[in-house]
Structure 1
Amino acid sequence: MQVDIRSFKTGPDYIDPMFHEKILGLTSSNLDPYMMEDDLLIHLLTKNAGDLSIIEGVMGYYDGISTGFSSSSYDLARRTKTPVVLVAKPKGLAATLAALVQGVQNFRKDANIQGVLLNGVSPMMAAYYKKIVEDNTGIRVYGYLPLFEEGLESRHLGLITADEIENLQDLVGTYGDQALESIDLEGLMALGQGAGDLTDTYPEVKKIGQVRLALARDRAFSFYYNDALDYLRDLGADIVEFSPLANQAVPQDVQGVYLGGGYPELYMEDLEKNQVFLESLRDCHKKGMPIFAECGGYMTLLEGFQEGDRTYQLAGLIPGTSQMTGKLQNFGYIDLVAQEDNLLAQKGDHIRAHEFHYSKSTNPGEVFQGKKPQSQRGWSAMVQDGNLCAGYPHIHLMANPKAAHRFVEAMKKYKEMKQ
């Protein structure tokens, strides 16, 4: 039986959805309980649903903002009426595993824990743990996966991206064959049929105008939200992709540029040499074209990138340089408040975003004042120069529709000015 399986990721992570897409051959969606209201969460879940929709969680089940549960996997499961399967790695435990499972189930009345999967165990130990959990909690264990000799590599922002793993399909085939043998997949699919009914009340998106948006996409710039790009398309933006690493210029006849995040720090020598790309950025900015850049894209717009005694010369649209550090800088969700009118917001507007980077900049900008939710900690963020707005925060443009509207409106105005 053919089953149409669709994947989703809890929270703002870019890398895990890339694996979903590579494995399934279908686009994956982020469901972010901090950046998104219920109507958008439900809209994206129902719009992108298949016969079976699987939402990958994040961190521990109840781990949310600060010491609370807000924006946790539990929060998302509750708001989307989704049954939950815990993935447990029980190495070094015996009956305590049952206590942990029972504790998670009983911690909140609406926990909705419907099953357990065991990770990193042998067939013999899987049978042992299955009996312990089911006898003591009544919660079903749907199977297990053993430890594999070959896993997935990581770097400073998490797993290396799916496109960089040459034998990914072979690995997936190995994992899949094992899952067929040791996991009750039919039982899990039946469990999915017990999800609560959802009603999509998201309003129809109205087109603003017809514009063309240049979007940088390659191994250096790959962090984009699929649904945010679709939202820009619905507003009237025809997205034209190009590759800075291939030294491609910003495409002709566009009215805006979007430089997303990624790993430009790994390719600075190439980017410095790619003067066709860099000069085209300078030309776009000189003409007043709207340019939006996040994190790695923002780093590329700076004058340079410092690595030891060397400074790589970059676009120079923004004064200052960046360099890598040994720890995360300004990590997590952030509420941005516009200090002045800019490409994405009017003064006083709020934008919900997140930051996740190991680099720091001599010029982080101050067009927004950011504050961490449920905390007094904050910092200034993002640079505005004419029609350019860039900084470390990652912004989901569908979760912040006014920002998307302003970006497309600016492109439309630029197009009219050039006609």
Structure 2
Amino acid sequence: MMGFLVAGSASGVGKTTVTLAILAALRKRGLVVQAMKGGPDFLDTTHHTRVSGRPARNLDTWMMSAEANRACARRASAGADALVVEGMMGLFDGKDGASETGSSAEIAKLLGLPVILILDGSKSARSLAATLLGFELFDPHLQLAGVVLNRLANDRHFALLRDAITSRCRTPILGWMPRAAEISIPERHLGLHTADESFPDAVALASMAERHLEIDAILDLKWECEQAPAAQPSMLATKSRVRIGVARDRAFSFYYEDNLDLLREHGGDIVEFSPLNDSTLPGNLDALYLGGGYPELYAAQLGANLSMLASIRGFAQAGRPVYAECGGMIYLGTSFTTGDGENHPMANVLPLHFEMTDRLVSFGYVTVTVTKDCHIAPAGTSLRGHSFHYSRISKRDNLDNAFGLEYSLSGGRENEGFLFQGVLASYVHLHFGSHPEVAERFVNSIREASLILG
């Protein structure tokens, strides 16, 4: 099948815009396209999903094993004509500076995907050829299949860069893209706006790609997709299913789609609800999963929805299992002070007060050692996740901790993973694919609680 990875020379060169334009052009030609994002990103995938019409997934060679990544790509691409993976940061950027671990290059080589490299040519002339030459020489085992020059001024600018590149480099030029307001996506402190907030015109994206990119040459990029193993008979058919309420709206949207799939696979039915717009929780829920997002942008509306806050609080106080990450944990706190200094009431489940900060806190990959048995893993389990937030705990009562955290970039360590009644909450976004038993244990713990609580 057709497949490739779109990479950049650095962050901010326009990978997402070019990826969306290619997705739109392929769909316009009638292809079924599966989009995926390399790395721990929740925002780009919302745009991929909107253009492709299929839920986008995440690949991550640091958080998940090689086989878990391969299996994810196999499952996601079933029934598709093409797999389009958008990389993260620069092509060779990953967990550290000494290896390719966690990089887009590692994903491309692991899956055998050809790479389309995006170069920002907005302020460049002949020197851009030297940049491309460096990428060609850096890793001879990587299949660099083409380059797209982004944010160019006009045809003359492209001709100048084309002549420089073809005189010194071997990588085919697959076209160029202009800087255009109609296909740009606004950004804020955590990255791009979500697709629900601001989304470029898909027709304009497809038109731009057809006009400026070599779509026929891109269609020739092949991926040797491994066949998925035959499905094995499951014991789950004899087990009761559980209903897991998942908060999903503009305030809460940061979920790895595979986390939800793994919960479904092990017997969880996902029931979405909106803390912003619904007055109470859906009926007959057995557990809650509160993901991250932008509670800081909607704190006043969240705090004013008193009936939903009371519903969440009553659910948690009944001892029902609740798993919360980052923004979901903030929502369970006593209150939240936003960047304008306003204090907003939250669900008052956890004795924690949160406040916004003016800089990133504890950013990067995180190794989680489970120090106390909890919903998702027994003590001693090692999990992997990612931390990315502009807030902190400013006031707290003593709470039990279930996690010992080690941050990959800073090397810092702390105790976290707060346990209170039936709640497990953390700033860390865990990928359940980092350990094969997480989703199964979570669903089983929900079943056990339901038997006890009725």
What TM-score do the two structures reach when normalised by structure 1?
Answer: 0.94
Which one of the candidate residues 50, 56, 77 is aligned to 2:86?
56
Against the structure 1 CA distance between its residues 99 and 157, is the aligned structure 2 distance closer, same or farther, given a 3 Å change threshold?
same
1:323 aligns with 2:355: yes
Question: One-letter code of the match for 2:220?
Answer: A
Cα offsets for 1:23-47 (capped at 9, x unmatched): 1221101111111111111111122
Question: One-letter code of the match for 1:125?
Answer: H
Match of 2:33 in 1: 5
Instruction: Give the CA deviation at 1:367.
Output: 2.1
Cα offsets for 1:202-252 (capped at 9, x unmatched): 985753541111111111011111121111111111111111101431211
Match of 1:92 in 2: 123
Distance 1:80 1:345 in 2: 29
Distance 1:149 1:315 in 2: 40
Match of 1:367 in 2: 402
Match of 2:147 in 1: 116
Question: One-letter code of the match for 2:204?
Answer: T
Matches within 5 A, 1:11-410: 11-49=39-77, 50-67=80-97, 68-121=99-152, 122-150=154-182, 151-165=184-198, 168=199, 171-191=201-221, 193=222, 195-198=223-226, 200=228, 207=236, 209-307=240-338, 309-362=341-394, 363=396, 366-373=401-408, 376-410=411-445
Distance 2:235 2:62 in 1: 25
Distance 2:87 2:309 in 1: 39
Question: One-letter code of the match for 1:153?
Answer: P
Aligned alpha-carbon RMSD (Å):
1.9
Q: Is the 8 A contact 1:40 1:202 kept in 2?
A: no
Cα offsets for 1:187-213 (capped at 9, x unmatched): 01102x1x3453546985753541111
1:418 aligns with 2:453: yes
Does the residue aligned with 1:115 lie in a helix, a strand or coil? strand
Question: One-letter code of the match for 1:358?
Answer: Y
Cα offsets for 1:84-119 (capped at 9, x unmatched): 010001233333222211211211121211110010
Distance 2:444 2:65 in 1: 24
Does the residue aligned with 1:58 lie in a helix, a strand or coil? coil
Q: Is the 8 A contact 2:317 2:349 kept in 1?
A: no
Distance 1:201 1:30 in 2: 21
Against the structure 1 CA distance between its residues 341 and 203, is the aligned structure 2 distance closer, same or farther, given a 3 Å change threshold?
farther
Mean CA deviation greater in 139-148 or 303-312: 303-312
Q: Is the 8 A contact 1:43 1:202 kept in 2?
A: no
Q: Is the 8 A contact 2:337 2:344 kept in 1?
A: yes
Instruction: Give the CA deviation at 1:53.
Output: 0.8
Structure 1: segments with no counterpart, 5+ residues: none
Distance 2:210 2:423 in 1: 51
Cα offsets for 1:118-152 (capped at 9, x unmatched): 10112221122123212311210010110113421
Question: One-letter code of the match for 2:441?
Answer: R
Instruction: Give the CA deviation at 1:178.
Output: 1.4
Counting matched residue pairs gives 414
Distance 2:193 2:241 in 1: 36
Distance 2:45 2:207 in 1: 22
Distance 1:52 1:86 in 2: 18
Distance 1:178 1:271 in 2: 39
State the identity %: 31
Instruction: Give the CA deviation at 1:335.
Output: 0.3
Mean CA deviation greater in 203-212 or 407-416: 203-212
Does the residue aligned with 1:164 lie in a helix, a strand or coil? coil
Instruction: Give the CA deviation at 1:365.
Output: 7.0
Question: One-letter code of the match for 2:47?
Answer: F
Instruction: Give the CA deviation at 1:305.
Output: 0.5
Distance 2:84 2:113 in 1: 9
Instruction: Give the CA deviation at 1:290.
Output: 0.3
Distance 1:392 1:84 in 2: 33
Question: One-letter code of the match for 1:190?
Answer: D
What TM-score do the two structures reach when normalised by structure 2?
Answer: 0.87
Does the residue aligned with 1:94 lie in a helix, a strand or coil? coil
Structure 2: segments with no counterpart, 5+ residues: 1-28
Against the structure 1 CA distance between its residues 117 and 335, is the aligned structure 2 distance closer, same or farther, given a 3 Å change threshold?
same
Does the residue aligned with 1:265 lie in a helix, a strand or coil? coil
Distance 1:385 1:164 in 2: 34
Instruction: Give the CA deviation at 1:402.
Output: 2.1
Distance 2:37 2:434 in 1: 15
Detail structure 1 runs of 4+ shifted over 6 Å in the superposition: none
Does the residue aligned with 1:36 lie in a helix, a strand or coil? coil
Cα offsets for 1:292-334 (capped at 9, x unmatched): 0010000010110023554211111111211111100000100
Does the residue aligned with 2:288 lie in a helix, a strand or coil? strand
Distance 2:230 2:60 in 1: 16
Does the residue aligned with 1:266 lie in a helix, a strand or coil? coil
